[in-house]
């Protein structure tokens, strides 16, 4: 959607100068003028408390457990998925019905989420109601029960999730890709197998929770909240958690490889990636700029072809049928993957993926114009600034930085400055890193899908 469409007549060079000047001004401006207050504290039991106070009237809160599916042992694969669906069941403090009614009375909402590195309980409510909200959600961490007759509902929800995911080939492709690239740890599936999820008992979840719900693995994060109040309430509700052991994972190593699995008819789902970077890596800005430089197969604007992504024209020339190709840039605490993912007609699989690989090869060989580089940097900084205006994005960034890296190290101003400092040499270097150890995953209708040695 375009806003203020009368300004579309501004020339490309004028727009570039305006955006570059704005980004440079933001990087040079005082931090206080750009960013809300960010504070991080640690309780005596190791629990992290982080807040971003932008003065908003709606508070977003997240109780985060550092672990996720990568922390599952071979005998407990999928238990995080089950634990997510077992959230807000009757606990030592309240029944499920009471939790729902009390949250409705506050005008708020809550939900449970999980990823490969974290398990989250999130809630949103009017500012000033944090104590009421924590009174509802805290017992879910401090006093879980997992009564067997309620746990059956969570098992059924896991199977429903799996049935839903079977209809989303993009999710299946990405899950299979992680298995190829990381094998264990980050390679563990986000989803519990239908074959084993029903075997987990209340005792299994209580034992897992006893190891996971400890101060050194838990963080409380809030956006639009007073930090001192948040620390005080965190101490009140969670000081009883034992310190426990800090989360320790085997270092993730990107492995080259390929897999083809026929999972459906129709289109082919093909993802070609190489090593990316972790969240604390100095290369994070370069990969962000590379992502925007590659772009995707979006709509071309007539007369504005130099705003088109590098990927768009290449794919348009290679495909005879409708196709969608998007960049992949996934960053975890200690590793990542970068590349391109396509939904393509089987007859176009080889030509489309070869064109995508050629785009990356061209960048690795230095085929990037100064204008294209500047546009990509402006797009990357614009994306960062827009995310900073969204409470959900702010909360996710705060939780990821503090819980996974130990502190909030990259502010908006610093991030913008680092992106604007990215050079062509940086892009050449990271593009070569991607191509040095590639991996390929093809699912859906794999008839005619390319093999890795055909592409790179």
State residue 357's pLDDT score.
Answer: 97
* H/E run at residue 435: helix 424-436
Do 409 and 262 share a structural domain? yes
Residue 1 lies in a domain: no
Do 260 and 232 share a structural domain? no
Exposure letters 169-208 (e unless 16+ CB within 10 A, then b): bbebbbbbbbbbbbeebbbbbbbbeeeebbebebebbeeb
Q: Which of 238, 272, 295 is the last residue of a domain?
A: 238
Q: Which of 238, 260, 281 is the last residue of a domain?
A: 238
State which residues of the chain have pLDDT below 70: 1-35, 298-308
205: domain CATH number is 3.30.830.10
Do 202 and 53 share a structural domain? yes
**Long-range Cβ contacts of 163-166 (<8 Å, 24+ apart):** 165/191
Do 257 and 206 share a structural domain? no
Residue 7 lies in a domain: no
Do 267 and 177 share a structural domain? no
State residue 12's pLDDT score.
Answer: 33
Do 191 and 50 share a structural domain? yes
Listed residue (413, 412, 278) closest to 335, CA to CA: 278
Do 262 and 213 share a structural domain? no
Residue 441 CA to residue 456 CA, distance in Å, equals 14
Residue 48 CA to residue 54 CA, distance in Å, equals 20
Do 173 and 42 share a structural domain? yes
* 62 token code pair: 């997240």
Q: Which domain holds residue 318?
A: 251-455
Tokens 């909402």 sit at which residue? Answer: 109
Do 427 and 324 share a structural domain? yes
Residue 445 CA to residue 431 CA, distance in Å, equals 29
State residue 35's pLDDT score.
Answer: 63
Do 200 and 119 share a structural domain? yes
Do 223 and 105 share a structural domain? yes
Do 49 and 180 share a structural domain? yes
Residue 12 lies in a domain: no
Number of domains, the chain: 2
CB neighbours of 379 closer than 8 A, spacing ≥ 6?
Answer: 292
Are 69 and 114 in contact by the 8 Å Cβ rule? The answer is: yes
Q: Which of 206, 238, 270 is the last residue of a domain?
A: 238
Residue 20 lies in a domain: no
Residue 14 lies in a domain: no
């Amino acid at each position: 959607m375009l806003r203020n469409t009368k300004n579309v007549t501004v020339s490309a060079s004028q727009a570039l100068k305006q955006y570059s000047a704005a980004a440079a001004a933001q990087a040079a401006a005082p931090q206080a003028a750009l960013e809300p207050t960010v504070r991080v504290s640690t309780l005596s039991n190791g629990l992290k408390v982080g807040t971003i106070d932008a003065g908003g009237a709606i508070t977003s809160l997240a109780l985060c457990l550092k672990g996720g599916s990568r922390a599952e042992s071979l005998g407990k694969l999928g238990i995080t998925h089950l634990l997510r669906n077992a959230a807000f069941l009757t606990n030592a403090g309240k029944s499920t019905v009471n939790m729902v009614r009390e949250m409705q009375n506050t005008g708020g909402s809550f939900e449970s989420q999980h990823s490969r590195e974290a398990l989250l309980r999130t809630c949103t409510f009017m500012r000033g109601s944090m104590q009421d909200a924590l009174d509802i959600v805290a017992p879910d961490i401090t006093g879980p029960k997992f009564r067997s007759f309620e746990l059956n509902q969570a098992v059924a929800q896991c199977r429903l999730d799996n049935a839903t995911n079977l209809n989303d080939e993009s999710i299946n492709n990405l899950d299979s890709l992680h298995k190829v690239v990381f094998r264990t740890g980050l390679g563990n599936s986000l989803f519990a197998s239908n074959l084993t999820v029903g075997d987990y008992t209340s005792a299994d979840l209580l034992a897992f929770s006893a190891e996971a719900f400890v101060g050194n693995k838990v963080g409380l994060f809030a956006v639009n909240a007073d930090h001192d109040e948040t620390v005080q309430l965190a101490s009140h509700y969670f000081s009883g958690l034992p310190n426990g052991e800090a989360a320790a994972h085997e270092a993730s190593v990107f492995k080259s490889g390929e897999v083809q699995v026929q999972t459906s008819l129709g289109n082919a789902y093909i993802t070609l990636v190489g090593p990316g970077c972790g969240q604390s890596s100095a290369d994070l800005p370069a990969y962000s700029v590379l992502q925007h430089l590659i772009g995707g197969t979006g709509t071309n604007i007539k007369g504005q072809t130099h705003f088109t992504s590098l990927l768009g024209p290449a794919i348009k020339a290679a495909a005879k049928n409708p196709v969608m190709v998007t960049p992949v840039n996934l960053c975890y605490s200690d590793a990542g993957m970068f590349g391109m993912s396509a939904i393509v007609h089987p007859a176009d699989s080889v030509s489309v993926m070869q064109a995508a690989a050629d785009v990356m090869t061209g960048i690795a060989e230095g085929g990037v114009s100064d204008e294209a580089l500047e546009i990509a940097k402006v797009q990357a900084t614009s994306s960062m600034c827009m995310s900073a205006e969204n409470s959900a994005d702010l909360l996710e960034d705060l939780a990821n930085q503090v819980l996974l890296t130990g502190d909030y190290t990259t502010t908006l101003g610093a991030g913008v400055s680092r992106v604007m400092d990215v050079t062509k040499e940086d892009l050449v270097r990271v593009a070569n890193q991607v191509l040095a150890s590639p991996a390929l995953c093809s699912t859906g209708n794999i008839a005619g899908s390319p093999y890795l040695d055909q592409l790179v």
